[in-house]
Amino acid sequence: MLPSPAYLHVLLNHVPLTGLAVASLGLLFSLALRNATAQVCALALVLSCAAAAWPVYLTGKAAYRDVRRIADEPGMDYLDDHLDRADRFTIAYLPATLLAVAGLVLPRFWPGIRPLLGWLTLAAAMAALAAGIYIGEAGGRVRHSEFRSPTNAAAEP
């Protein structure tokens, strides 16, 4: 039997954020060092971490009713906001995923394109990270009242 979607969502949700941040740092270093082997490794990590956004999104959608049932009233509002943000911004991971694939495949045919694809992938990964932080900010407050400080009151949905 598979674990509940909520459990899987909690397990996976850090991969497109923390994993992509680390992969992006690796990609930045590989580009700065102009090391093709390191760039291939970093692109593979960007690809896997950016692509992980889709299972995170799907497990989150599947867990929505169960989590809503156990959330307090402010948590329900944050859950709705979290789902709305995910519906609108998970697509931001797609360019990073596709550019990472292009960066792994196209330089085999056109080696000179490797740096350009690396920089484009890095930019797309940064945009995906910004979207992921925005999505996750509401999600972190669903069941964690300690994240609902008075300084965050103005940002409440």
The DSSP result for 104-153, as a single string, is: HHGGGT-GGGHHHHHHHHHHHHHHHHHHHHHHHHHHTTSS-GGG--GGGG
Tell whether the model's pLDDT for residue 141 goes beyond 90.
no
What mean pLDDT comes out for the span 138-145?
77
Two tokens, residue 155: 């940002």
How does residue 156 score in pLDDT terms, banded at 50, 70 and 90? low
How does residue 154 score in pLDDT terms, banded at 50, 70 and 90? very low
Report the alpha-carbon distance of residue 66 to residue 55 in Å, rounded.
17
Report the alpha-carbon distance of residue 52 to residue 17 in Å, rounded.
10
Share of the chain above pLDDT 70, in %: 90
Query: Torsion angle of alpha carbons 58, 20, 80, 89, nearest 10°?
Result: -90
Report the alpha-carbon distance of residue 100 to residue 45 in Å, rounded.
9
Report the alpha-carbon distance of residue 90 to residue 128 in Å, rounded.
8
Angle between helices 36-51 and 114-139 (to 10 degrees): 30
What pTM was estimated for this model as a whole? 0.86
What mean pLDDT comes out for the span 111-129?
97
